[in-house]
Structure 1
Amino acid sequence: MIPALPLRIDALRGARLADGTPVDVRLDGPVVAAIEPAGALDGEPGEALDLDGFVLLTAGAEPHAHLDKALTFDVIAPPLGDLPSAIAAFHTYAITSDEHDIADRARRTLGRMLANGITAVRSHVNFSPGPDPLAGFRALQRVRAEFAGLLDLQLVTLPADDTVDEVHEEAFALGADLVGGAPHLWPDPIAATDRLLDLAERVGVGADLHADESLDGPITLGRFAERARSWSLPRSAGHCVRLGMLREDELAVLVEAIRDADIGIIGLPITNLYLQGWDSPVATPRGITALRALIDAGVRVAAGADNVRDPFNPLGRCDPLETAMLLVTAAHLTPAEALHLVGDGARDVLGLPPAGPRVGAVADLLAVRADSATEAIAFASADRYVLHAGRLVAASVLEQRVAVPAREAVLTATETGAA
């Protein structure tokens, strides 16, 4: 039986680390206090979880979400298509959406994320069309307060090219954390990049820009890197699909500039695989940023799911293991690299303290029923325990019944040649 949640946990017993080592883990409030050989904490007092048969990982962090758009696909029923068609479809819907609708969908989406092991989320928030541009920020600020103590939620502005600075600045009074925007979609992408970075400097917050979300066209990351080289403010960029289409010599120069400016790059495989390449019916490009080159160059890299069941992505499970799977299959990362990008790497880009099953780290942990870390990605078992700051905040126990042949019958059939 699952206990009432949240519940402070003192020990985790019999878990397996990503490298296969069986361990017990002692927690001291929100911090991992000790990692011991399996069995070392048997019989000790306190609240303990038995994790025999589970792999213990750093909890997922979703570095790029759109909670104000989530779960609208079935209502909008948009045509399947590329980025411009998705933008148009959602804009039509957003005119009719209100604060209550946004909060309800965000709440349901965060609940799914938490159940699957995500304990930190950064969401971009559109300025609503019509007379109430700040409805999304009020809704998500309220939802953030409701989820306080269960997960960390950061909010990023996502203005249109005609959003005036005064309204943009009001979003920070309502609790927005970072300046965002998609300057590559504006009439003058370089001037738009400067405008957004000027605002971030003036307000004194960092920037997390949608950058170069297309297979061709303008590149704004170079300007971002030039401006951010002297920054002490947080800085990151999501999508960056254009990097994946550059010549190797061009890519090397841009990656070096990104590294020197210490811009965190956020890859978003599921949405970019869906949105990009519609006009290339053969040899369709993958639509993912140049993750291998970025990782090998020492750039801080994260990965997320981006949109969940909206015109920008009709699918999505709110599951960091889904993102990890796509990183392995579509981006050719190793399973260990994929888990890093959705866990430790994502937390780094979000500016959060280190977490996971390491002494001294924050006890944000995900336990998944699996024999290995790779199996956890492959099968993504629903059996999971999720801890945030040392408290159990989600537990899922799967009961499964499958009619399978009895082993004895299979052997008999094989021996008689009937199989």
Structure 2
Amino acid sequence: MEERLVISNGVVDGRRVDLLVDAGVVVADDIDPAGVEAPCVDVGGRLLLPALAEPHAHLDKALTAEIAPNPTGDLRGAIEAWMEAEAAGRFDAEGMAGRIREELDRLLLSGATAVRSHLNVGGSVGVEHLDVALRVAGEFEGVLDVQLVAMITMPLTGEGSESNVAALREAIDMGVHLVGGCPHLEPDPVGAIEILLQHAGEAIPLDLHVDETLNPEMLTIEDLISAVETHRANAVTASHCVSLSALDSDRVRRIGDGLARSGIGVVALPQTNLFLQGRDDQRLTPRGIAPVGRLRAAGVEVAAGGDNVQDPFNLMGRSDPLEAAALMVMAAHESPEDAFDLVSSGARRVMGLGSAGPEVGSIADIV
């Protein structure tokens, strides 16, 4: 990027602006473009908005629906399809690198400048997926902020856990940005959360898959809140939180108060959860989307993401955060303004990134 740049003839909140960008930050919005010695981009009266962000992707799985077909269409079928494909050796490093590169290109073209992706770590793959993703992410340095999450294979406690915990340590040594896992699928959810928090320490943030089920009794989110409140944890994100959608408003409010108090952000994932959840319900099929409106009212930082794209967990998707925003309007009854925030500024807040957009003082990531 040029050290200084003028963006002229833009519109922000209904008013005409001429921006001066210096060292990647908007420093003025009312300049005379002719009076500034810097390259100028005339946007022709177009609306200027904060850049989009993808707070929850699975780059190692993207675009694999034909390689790992899911015969049942539900979450268990997707997991089994993926594990079968891994065991059969259907994924090679270069093929995965190409798909990750394509997915990052698609996100960039959609207007996203930040991406957080979960990657399988442990089990039969060890750190292979992470190694590929780190290599490809380096190709986008300076263009995309790519955050990689080591999603540790189950189990993390008891028999069979040693190799997974070792892979967790190796991922941290490799420089993974966040630590993750699926506590609600673990034989010992509380123990798994403790292991992840202990290894992350105070330096590494966590982003966990939490309660991806319509069962209202499955509330490991409460275990996560308790654990975070007793640890000196770095930033923590709870993704999915589907079971919250099955609770009454009073229970959601109490859990929301705990999330806000402990600083845990929540990412709703409408596309994949609409695809996977509720397949056994023949009438009044539930939507399975985290109740972000009620959580927001409790003071929780919330975002929405695309999750899986054309893979066993979701056959659809175009790698565009605005697709998630549209689904939040239609299926979660968010206003268009709030839905856009979920995939732009709100997503950046959950991801721990600075404010971006056309406002003075913001990082000049603008669409």
Pick the TM interval, shorter chain.
Answer: over 0.9
Match of 2:160 in 1: none
Match of 1:375 in 2: none
Match of 1:190 in 2: 190
Distance in 2 between residues matched to 1:99 and 1:336, nearest whole Å: 40
- Report the AA paired with residue 281 of structure 1: Q
1:141-160 equivalences under 5 Å are 141-160=134-153
Give the deviation of 1:7 after TM superposition: 6.3
Match of 2:323 in 1: 322
- Report the AA paired with residue 261 of structure 2: D
What is the SS of the residue equivalent to 1:74? coil
Which has more radius of gyration?
Answer: 1
Query: Can you list the C-alpha shifts for 1:75-129, whole angstroms capped at 9, x where unaligned?
Result: 3333351111111111122232122222111111000000111111111110264
Distance in 2 between residues matched to 1:281 and 1:20, nearest whole Å: 46
Match of 1:100 in 2: 94
Question: TM-score scaled by structure 1?
Answer: 0.81
Match of 1:41 in 2: 33
Q: Is the 8 A contact 2:122 2:164 kept in 1?
A: no
What is the SS of the residue equivalent to 1:75? coil
Match of 2:248 in 1: 247
Matched, 1:209 2:204: no
Give the deviation of 1:15 after TM superposition: 1.6
Query: Can you list the C-alpha shifts for 1:294-334, whole angstroms capped at 9, x where unaligned?
Result: 11111111111111111111111111211111111111111
Change (3 A) 1:180 1:212: same
Matched, 1:79 2:68: no
Q: Is the 8 A contact 2:33 2:40 kept in 1?
A: no
Matched, 1:69 2:61: yes
1:8-47 equivalences under 5 Å are 10-17=5-12, 19-36=13-30, 40-42=32-34, 44-47=36-39
Structure 2: which 5+ runs fail to align? 156-162
- Report the AA paired with residue 149 of structure 1: G
- Report the AA paired with residue 196 of structure 2: L
Q: Is the 8 A contact 2:120 2:150 kept in 1?
A: yes
1:372-383 equivalences under 5 Å are none
Q: Is the 8 A contact 1:183 1:192 kept in 2?
A: yes
Distance in 1 between residues matched to 2:268 and 2:55, nearest whole Å: 9
- Report the AA paired with residue 302 of structure 1: A
* Residue identity (%): 42
- Report the AA paired with residue 136 of structure 1: H
Match of 1:312 in 2: 313
Match of 1:181 in 2: 181
Distance in 1 between residues matched to 2:23 and 2:3, nearest whole Å: 7
Structure 1: which 5+ runs fail to align? 1-5, 367-419
Give the deviation of 1:26 after TM superposition: 1.1
Match of 1:356 in 2: 357
Query: Can you list the C-alpha shifts for 1:168-218, whole angstroms capped at 9, x where unaligned?
Result: 1001111211110011011222332223223222x8422111001110042
Query: Can you list the C-alpha shifts for 1:20-65, whole angstroms capped at 9, x where unaligned?
Result: 222221111210111128xx42564422222124221111111111
Q: Is the 8 A contact 2:122 2:167 kept in 1?
A: no
Query: Can you list the C-alpha shifts for 1:356-396, whole angstroms capped at 9, x where unaligned?
Result: 11111111111xxxxxxxxxxxxxxxxxxxxxxxxxxxxxx
- Report the AA paired with residue 114 of structure 1: L
Match of 1:278 in 2: 279
Distance in 2 between residues matched to 1:294 and 1:99, nearest whole Å: 40
Distance in 2 between residues matched to 1:187 and 1:232, nearest whole Å: 23
- Report the AA paired with residue 267 of structure 1: A
